[in-house]
Amino acid sequence: MDKSRRAGMKLPITSKMKYDFKYVKEGNKMTDTMKEIYEIFEEESKDVWIKEGRKEGAINILLTLVKDGIISIEEAAKRANISVSKFEKYLNEQK
C-alpha cells in the first residue's frame, strides 16, 4: 500500500507503527516522522517499565515481610495500595 492511500486511513498508532517498522526493516529509510514516533514510543515504554518494575519490587518486598511474619497481609496490602484479596493472590502465586 502506498503512502498516499495509507494517509487517508484511520489506523491505530500501533498498526501504523507496525507497518512503518516493517517498511524500514525491508531496507527503506526511516522518515523524520517515523523517528519521532519511535522516540516517543521508546520513552513512554521506558517510563511504564520503570513504574511497573518499582511496583513489582515493592510487592515482592512486602510478600517477604508477610512470609517472615513481620507485617500482616492487611498492612502489606495497604502499603501496596491494593486490596487484601489481590495481595493474597500474589502471595498464593509465589507458593
Contact residues for 82 (Cβ-Cβ < 8 A; gap 6+): 59
Give the long-range contacts of residues 34-40, CB within 8 A, separation 24 or more: 37/13
Closest CA to 1 of 13, 41, 15: 15
Mean pLDDT, the chain, rounded, equals 77
Residue 83 CB neighbours (<10 A)? 11
Q: What average pLDDT does this structure show over 65-76?
A: 95
Of residues 10 and 50, the one with the higher pLDDT is 50
For residues 76 and 82, give the distance between their C-alpha atoms in angstroms, rounded to a whole number: 9
pLDDT band at 9 (very low <50, low <70, confident <90, very high): very low
